[in-house]
Amino acid sequence: MNRKSTVLLGAFLLALPALAGEAVTVTQKGLRFSESALTVDKGQAISFMNDDTTAHNITVSGEGVSINGGLQAPGASTRIPFSKPGVYAVSCGIHPKMKMTVTVK
Ligand SMILES: [Cu+2]
């Protein structure tokens, strides 16, 4: 639970089921998420791909969970697991107008 890239996700990973579905990819391009709303299965992860020429910072909040994916360079991908059912607001800490909703069922 102390893996370098997932320190901030520790609370989530503790609850992560052993069997998780394949990750879904959401792209950030033109300062927008490729999806405004997305539903994933419990335990599934989303890989947020930065296809912009500027850095992003994925943030996730909801269901008592708050995740900061850290500074994300252009071309980088940030994988966020969603282990708890509910509705989550996803945004960018640098560009607050970037918003999407993730529903975990
Ligand atoms: Cu951004």
Q: Give 32-63 pLDDT, tens digit per residue.
A: 999 999 999 999 999 999 999 999 999 999 99
74 Cα–ligand 1 center, Å: 10
Structural tokens at position 30 = 């033109």
Query: 77 near 35, Cβ under 8 Å?
Result: no
> Which residues make up the environment of ion ligand 1, defined by Cβ < 5 Å?
56, 92, 94-95
18 Cα–ligand 1 center, Å: 31
53 Cα–ligand 1 center, Å: 10
pLDDT in the model for residue 7: 52
CA 82 to chain centroid:
8
Q: Please indicate, yes or no, whether the overall pTM of this predicted structure exceeds 0.85.
A: no
For 79, the 3-state DSSP assignment is: strand
| CATH 3.40.50.2000 describes domain 4-104 | no
Rounded Cα–Cα distance for residues 98 and 43 (Å): 24
Domain limits, the chain: 4-104
CA dihedral 30, 40, 15, 90 (to 10 degrees): 30
